[in-house]
Amino acid sequence: MSKLTRSVWAEVSLDSIAHNVRQFRQWIGPKCELMAVVKANGYGHGALETAYTMIANGTNWLAVALPEEAVRLRRGGIHAPILVLGAVGADELDVCVAADLVVTVFEPHMARLLSRAAVAQDKTAKVHIKVDTGMGRLGLLPGDFASLVELVQGLPGLEIQGVFTHFAQAEQPDLTYTKWQWERFQAVQSDLKSRGISIPFLHAANTAATLFFPESHLDLVRVGLGIYGMYPDQRRTLHLEPALSLKTKVAFVKRVPAGSAVSYGSTYVTWKETSLAVLPIGYADGLSRGLSNKGQVLIRETFCPIVGNVTMDHTLVDVGDLPVQIGDEVVLLGSQGAHTIHAHSWADLLGTINYEITCMLSSRIERVYQ
Ligand SMILES: Cc1ncc(COP(=O)(O)O)c(C=O)c1O
């Protein structure tokens, strides 16, 4: 049986990923290592498929949220060090040790269980200890930090390879809060130094801090968003190329008279005779229903409005008098002719951030690598 291909697909440009990695490599300089964050299936771009390109272009490390994401990378032949950023469950520790994953540790019980798992497998598990300097999520508060480091140092089968923190608002032009977090992290570093503890990898910077707060680069930077060619705010410090385009083909076109109601709830009624194009993509694919009567797509190099409510599998577009035909290519994210639709434009319409837009694209959409 020949392969079925649906006429909705996401094109992921590996050239753009390579370009973005090289931009960051150049920006951070040779002394700093680059960790590419490929959690959530590479922010929707495909973790394994993009990881090869990232590594080939100068990425030293990968980071994921879940052990299972890392295991998939290992099974795909990725040998680079992988840091699991998220909280690992007690029953996932054996797998982490077996797959040589670097685990984030932020409390003593988990450290003891990991130590036991490592000893049982006769291995040394590398860990990075996380300090919460102001994100308020995973991580110990600075006051409790040194005692955990000392405890982990005393546990068999564990090696502290890194200490890190995470910024809560490094994308803000006002860096007051980020600098406060930075000072707290520096105090942790001094405290460790005064106890004679030396840590190979200190790290703090995400994409925004890497771009806008270079003094926080330290030994490595953890870059997610930027590697995929998206920016954390309006500033364009580096030239990054968006790697993902979302495309479909017109499934049906029909001419309708003025006064025709469109889609569930009839929230749009044509005000003149016009043509409606039916697109075979809907909210089950990650085209948010919030784009109903708000979003635009590109057809024949022209912006056309999404009209009526986006449905689970179909979306309607008012193409006016454009000579649109069944099979015409439609760009929902990406460029057509001189025009581009960015993930951040969808995000603005939806009251969210560009991160969520590409993560939202569901597994129904085939990723095509170019
Ligand atoms: C701990 C940690 N570090 C780094 C990143 C990468 O952030 P960004 O995509 O903004 O570069 C994330 C992503 O959320 C994260 O959770």
In the prediction, which pLDDT does 49 show?
A: 97
- Compute the distance between CA of residue 162 and CA of residue 55 in angstroms, rounded to an integer: 20
Can you identify the CATH homologous superfamily of domain 244-369? Lyase, Ornithine Decarboxylase; Chain A, domain 1 (2.40.37.10)
**Pairing label, strands 201-203, 158-164:** parallel
Q: How far is the CA of 267 from the centre of ligand 1 (A)?
A: 38
Instruction: Using CA atoms of 287, 293, 296, 300 in order, give the dihedral in degrees to the nearest 10.
Output: 110
Instruction: Tell me the pTM.
Output: 0.96
Q: How far is the CA of 297 from the centre of ligand 1 (A)?
A: 29
In the prediction, which pLDDT does 115 show?
A: 98
- Name residues of the chain where pLDDT drops below 70: 1-4
DSSP 8-state class, residue 76: T
Q: Are 277 and 304 in contact (CB under 8 A)?
A: yes
List the catalytic residue out of 123, 193, 254, 264: 264
Residue 93 Cβ < 6 Å to ligand 1: no
Give the domain ranges of the chain. 14-228, 244-369
- Compute the distance between CA of residue 261 and CA of residue 233 in angstroms, rounded to an integer: 38
In the prediction, which pLDDT does 6 show?
A: 84
Q: Could you give the 3-state DSSP secondary structure of residue 334?
A: strand
| Probe target for ligand 1 pocket from 166, 203, 344, with the most ligand atoms within 8 Å of CB | 166
In the prediction, which pLDDT does 2 show?
A: 52
Phi, psi of 164 (to 5 degrees): -145, 165
Whether 177 sits among the annotated catalytic residues: the reply is no
CATH topology of domain 14-228: TIM Barrel (3.20.20)
Nearest atom of ligand 1 to the alpha carbon of 37: 6
Amino acid at 198: S
Tell me, yes or no, if the two domains 14-228 and 244-369 fold the same way.
Answer: no
Residue 223 Cβ < 6 Å to ligand 1: yes
Residue with CA nearest ligand 1 atom 2: 166
In the prediction, which pLDDT does 3 show?
A: 62
